[in-house]
Amino acid sequence: MGKNGQLSITDVAYRPSLGAPIGMDVLDFAELRARGHRRGIDLGSPQRPGFHHLIHVRSGTLRHTVDFSEHVLHAGSWLWIQPGQVHQYAPEDLAAARGTIVIWQPGFADAEAPFEQAPLLPDGPHARATQLALRHLTHEYADLASIPLQSHIEALRLLLAVLLLRLAHARPETPAAHRPDGAFAHYHAAVERDFADTHRVADYATALGYNVRTLTRATLAATGLTAKQYLDARILLEAKRLLVHTDATAAEVSRRLGFREPGDFSKFFRKRDGRTPQQFRSVARGSTGSVVSDENPTTR
pLDDT tens-digit series, residues 95-148: 999 999 999 998 898 877 666 678 999 999 999 999 999 999 999 999 988 899
Question: Residue 26 carries which DSSP code?
Answer: E
pLDDT at 21: 67
Alpha-carbon dihedral angle through residues 92, 96, 102, 106, given to the nearest 10 degrees: -10
Please name the residue ranges forming H helices in the chain.
29-39, 91-96, 124-142, 149-170, 182-194, 201-208, 212-223, 227-245, 250-256, 262-273, 277-286
Q: In this model, does residue 279 exceed pLDDT 70? A: yes
Distance CA 61, CA 77 (A): 9
Q: In this model, does residue 300 exceed pLDDT 70? A: no
pLDDT at 90: 94
Q: Look at the alpha carbons of 136, 57, 84, 18 in this order and tell me if their dihedral is positive or negative.
A: negative
- Mean pLDDT to the nearest integer, 183-208: 95
> Confidence band (pLDDT; 50, 70, 90) for 297?
very low
Sheet-wide strand order for 78-81: 24-28, 98-104, 52-59, 78-81
Distance CA 292, CA 228 (A): 24
Distance CA 181, CA 218 (A): 7
Tell me the pLDDT tens digit for each residue of 9-37.
778 888 777 666 678 999 999 999 998 89
- Mean pLDDT to the nearest integer, 3-11: 60
Distance CA 92, CA 128 (A): 29
| 70 burial type by CB count under 10 A (0-12 exposed, 13-18 middle, 19+ buried) | middle
Whole-number percent of the chain with pLDDT over 70: 86
Alpha-carbon dihedral angle through residues 187, 189, 194, 195, given to the nearest 10 degrees: 70
Total Cβ atoms within 10 A of residue 277: 23
pLDDT at 291: 38
Tell me the pLDDT tens digit for each residue of 52-62.
999 999 999 99
- Mean pLDDT to the nearest integer, 55-73: 94
pLDDT at 114: 66
- Mean pLDDT to the nearest integer, 199-225: 94
Lowest mean pLDDT among 29-43, 87-101, 209-223, 276-290: 276-290
Residue 97 forms beta bridges with which residues? none
DSSP string, 89-139: E-HHHHHH-EEEEEEE-TTSS--PPPS--S-B---HHHHHHHHHHHHHHHH
Lowest mean pLDDT among 167-176, 208-217, 244-253, 277-286: 167-176
pLDDT at 19: 64
Gyration radius from the chain CA atoms: 20
Asked if 242 contacts 202 with a C-beta cutoff of 8 angstroms, the reply is no
Q: In this model, does residue 295 exceed pLDDT 90? A: no
Q: In this model, does residue 83 exceed pLDDT 80? A: yes
pLDDT at 181: 59
**pTM score, two decimals?**
0.77
Q: What residues contact 78, with CB distance under 8 A and at least 6 apart?
A: 54, 55, 56, 57, 119, 120, 121, 122, 130, 167
